[in-house]
Structure 1
Amino acid sequence: MIDKKYVLPPVDFGSALVRDAFAIERLRGDLGTGTTPVETLVELHALFRVVMSVISARIEGNHTTVYDALSQLGPVDAGEESPTDSLHEIMNILDGIDFIDSIDAAQPITHVLIRELHRIAVSDLSREGDRTPGEYRSNEVSISDSAHAPPSHVYVHAEMSALLDFANREMPTHEQMIHVAIAHHRFVWIHPFTNGNGRVSRLFTYAMLRRNGFDSIPGYRAVNPTAVFGNDRDGYYAALEAADDLSGTGTLAWCEFFVHGLRQDLERLVRMQDFDFVTRELLSPAIDALRASGGLTLEEASALQIAAVTGVVKAADLAPALPGTPSQRSVAIRGLLGRGLLTADERGPRFYRTALSRGPLAPFIVRRLDALGYLPRMLEHDGE
């Protein structure tokens, strides 16, 4: 017998939901066709990973700003203080994203994967930890500010088995986003863990998007549903609650919220394919702002502008900005590398790129993303 929770409700072909679903397919077809170099997209993806991890934690009440996260994330040196619980929560979410990205996207989503994502998400946390990391709950739970009563712990494994069967189902392309939306809600509805369900549900949904084709285009792993939820936290919870009765009407309302938000996020992402837009509206203004703050000399700013516009440079390419002998230029480049303003490219030790995801420039890029409307409302004006 088919569980009615996993039957796609009838959808009016002329509805906004269908229009958004087809728009997503059109946008997906546009991915990978632009002029922005893959290396730049990969760097921006690394920056978006941090932003999405902050959003996922913020939804749960974590108040760490994206700027604090960018300045503090990284390995802890011997003798340094351990990261705060709030920062550690964000680091765990990043680890969860990395774990998903390390797996073949075609691999089925299993109980083992879900429990491992939970173990990663709650590892070594106090406020947002769990007494049994990586284990389904063995107790009854309630959800704060929600009328929904999750299933008894006795049924959790069976409920998750049904959900995973649904999540791994092959779906027609035009139904894939509705499929992902329903799976996300049903995960939250089951509430399989004592704590950490929200964070794991968003990682689970990211894994489902990868299975549905968003892992095959280099540089576009930034397609992450967390942006949808962070853009309207109250709307997110209200839409989830509307589907808690498992009715077709409530499920469609939730799907409309999710699919429309994903379409908006994809439209912004596709805009990043236009390298002229990226350099003119994002990278160059960020470099100018860093220089205006006193973080760069005129020569250093010029060098970063050349690297940003060129994508990958060698020392000779920076000669117009860094005049002098090759030896003097090498010293200047080593200084830019040491300060995290340039980064070595994969092509070899003498190829360089402007560092976008970490270092002094990253917060200024985030501010430009905010000014351009790329940050979910949850993070708007985070640096004020």
Structure 2
Amino acid sequence: MSVVSARIEGNHTTVYDALDRLGSKHGTFDDSLREIVNIAETARFIDELDPAAPLTHSLIRELHARTVSHLIREGDPNPGNYREVDVAISNSQHTPPSWVVVHPEMTDLLDFANAERPLHEQMLQIAIAHHRFVWIHPFQNGNGRVSRLFTYAMLRRTIFNTRGGSALNPMAVFGNDRDAYISALEGADDLSERGTTAWIEFFATGISTDLQRLIRLQDHEYVSEELITPVLTSLARDGVISAAQAGALAIALQRGVVKAGDLEAVFPGSPAQRSRAIRTLVEEDLFQNSVEGPRFYRISLSRGPIAARLVRRLDTLGYLPKILADD
């Protein structure tokens, strides 16, 4: 989702490159990767907040400071501070309000965002707040990224807080069709009822569609049979992994977490031989240590040979936003 948010702003780092480079133990982050890291870490920061706590000026400024930290191309000359200059938005007919009224405009927005609404009105509230944030354009740079994180924070404290579940990160909705997203936002810039309603419909439809995808991904049988097993089959077919390794991965997929004794059928022989086979799986980023302890293992899905094909499989099944097509 962090890649999606950065891609909307013109960052062309692919999902797999981000996963691979973030998992590397060597090297430093360039500006493009740092932008993605900042968004991801800021989302984690939001996850640690009390979802019932009100959204404040200081929180919005903190989100901005974290999002643009140490960036050059997509940085801001005053991280964590509202703009003190008038600005224009590239390729947009909307002129943001003067910097003089940014603080009072943001006060009104935060009052609106924090207002208690019945559940059936909360999606409208969030959609309107997202548009108004971009409309105000409170920072010199980083407004799009921060607006999407702000929307994530709103989802946590409203709909998902009252339902007792984890919040849906809305980046996929915004990135599924960048042009449609920008067009829908701009259509509401005149603050007319027609434009605002069209934007709300775009936002709510996207959230609903993405929720259906996420519900499907919580079905272990579906994920196993339609997503991961085809990836493992293709790796074995292409000779990337051996038949024995494919068998070990299949067992790990079925059980979730395995230890050496669980793999005796595919790695026969002495315990030492089995340990060497498992060590090879770890070194090749096919297995990784599990939280249960150093001798417990699970499939490594986020890096190594599985990750690249997993991203392609997700794309085949329609889970990647269109902005990430062919990643």
Structure 1-normalised TM-score? 0.81
Q: 2:18 aligns to what? A: 69
Q: CA deviation at 1:293?
A: 4.3
Matched, 1:209 2:158: no
Q: CA deviation at 1:325?
A: 1.9
Q: 1:92 aligns to what? A: 38
Give the letter for the 1:85 counterpart: D
Q: 1:184–1:205: 8 Å Cα contact kept in structure 2?
A: yes
Give the letter for the 2:29 counterpart: P
Which runs of 5 or more structure 2 residues have no equivalent in the other structure? Answer: none
Q: CA deviation at 1:214?
A: 3.2
Q: 2:236–2:242: 8 Å Cα contact kept in structure 1?
A: yes
Give the letter for the 1:311 counterpart: G
Matched, 1:345 2:290: yes
Cα distance change of structure 1 residues 294 and 114 upon mapping to structure 2, 3 Å threshold: farther
Matched, 1:366 2:311: yes
1:34-73 equivalence runs, <5 A:
52-73=1-22
Match of 2:234 among 257, 276, 289: 289
Match of 2:199 among 244, 254, 259: 254
Q: CA deviation at 1:75?
A: 6.3
Q: 1:112 aligns to what? A: 58
Q: CA deviation at 1:57?
A: 0.8
Give the letter for the 1:204 counterpart: F
Q: 1:181–1:254: 8 Å Cα contact kept in structure 2?
A: yes
SS in 1 for 2:80: coil
Cα distance change of structure 1 residues 212 and 355 upon mapping to structure 2, 3 Å threshold: farther
Q: 2:138 aligns to what? A: 192
Which range is displaced more, 310-319 or 56-65?
310-319
Instruction: Return the alpha-carbon distance in structure 1 between the equivalents of residues 67 and 24 of structure 2.
Output: 18
Q: 1:70–1:363: 8 Å Cα contact kept in structure 2?
A: no
Give the letter for the 2:288 counterpart: T
Q: CA deviation at 1:360?
A: 2.8
Q: 1:103 aligns to what? A: 49
Q: 2:276 aligns to what? A: 331
Which runs of 5 or more structure 1 residues have no equivalent in the other structure? Answer: 1-51
Give the letter for the 2:6 counterpart: A
Instruction: Return the alpha-carbon distance in structure 1 between the equivalents of residues 279 and 306 of structure 2.
Output: 17
Which range is displaced more, 252-261 or 63-72?
63-72
Match of 2:188 among 216, 219, 243: 243
SS in 1 for 2:288: strand
Instruction: Return the alpha-carbon distance in structure 2 between the equivalents of residues 275 and 177 of structure 1.
Output: 29
Matched, 1:274 2:219: yes
Q: 2:231–2:306: 8 Å Cα contact kept in structure 1?
A: yes
Q: 2:123–2:159: 8 Å Cα contact kept in structure 1?
A: no
Instruction: Return the alpha-carbon distance in structure 2 between the equivalents of residues 76 and 310 of structure 1.
Output: 29
Give the letter for the 2:121 counterpart: E
Matched, 1:234 2:179: yes
Q: CA deviation at 1:71?
A: 1.7
Instruction: Return the alpha-carbon distance in structure 2 between the equivalents of residues 303 and 76 of structure 1.
Output: 26
Match of 1:125 among 45, 65, 71: 71
Relative contact order, CA 8 A, sep 6+: which one is greater? 1
Q: 2:87–2:140: 8 Å Cα contact kept in structure 1?
A: yes
Which range is displaced more, 86-95 or 277-286?
86-95
Instruction: Return the alpha-carbon distance in structure 2 between the equivalents of residues 130 and 369 of structure 1.
Output: 34
Q: 1:159 aligns to what? A: 105
Which range is displaced more, 190-199 or 208-217?
208-217
Instruction: Return the alpha-carbon distance in structure 1 between the equivalents of residues 298 and 292 of structure 2.
Output: 11
Instruction: Return the alpha-carbon distance in structure 1 between the equivalents of residues 164 and 234 of structure 2.
Output: 32
Q: CA deviation at 1:209?
A: 1.2
Cα distance change of structure 1 residues 214 and 329 upon mapping to structure 2, 3 Å threshold: farther
Instruction: Return the alpha-carbon distance in structure 2 between the equivalents of residues 278 and 67 of structure 1.
Output: 19
Instruction: Return the alpha-carbon distance in structure 1 between the equivalents of residues 85 and 24 of structure 2.
Output: 36
Instruction: Return the alpha-carbon distance in structure 2 between the equivalents of residues 261 and 119 of structure 1.
Output: 28
- 1:50-90 deviations in whole A, cap 9, x for unaligned? xx11111111111112122122114664xx3x322111111
Instruction: Return the alpha-carbon distance in structure 2 between the equivalents of residues 169 and 324 of structure 1.
Output: 65
Taking every aligned residue pair, what percent have the same amino acid on both sides?
60
Give the letter for the 1:192 counterpart: P
Match of 1:148 among 90, 94, 99: 94
Q: CA deviation at 1:217?
A: 6.0
Instruction: Return the alpha-carbon distance in structure 2 between the equivalents of residues 139 and 245 of structure 1.
Output: 22
Q: 1:298 aligns to what? A: 243
Instruction: Return the alpha-carbon distance in structure 2 between the equivalents of residues 295 and 242 of structure 1.
Output: 50
Q: 1:376 aligns to what? A: 321
Instruction: Return the alpha-carbon distance in structure 2 between the equivalents of residues 99 and 132 of structure 1.
Output: 21
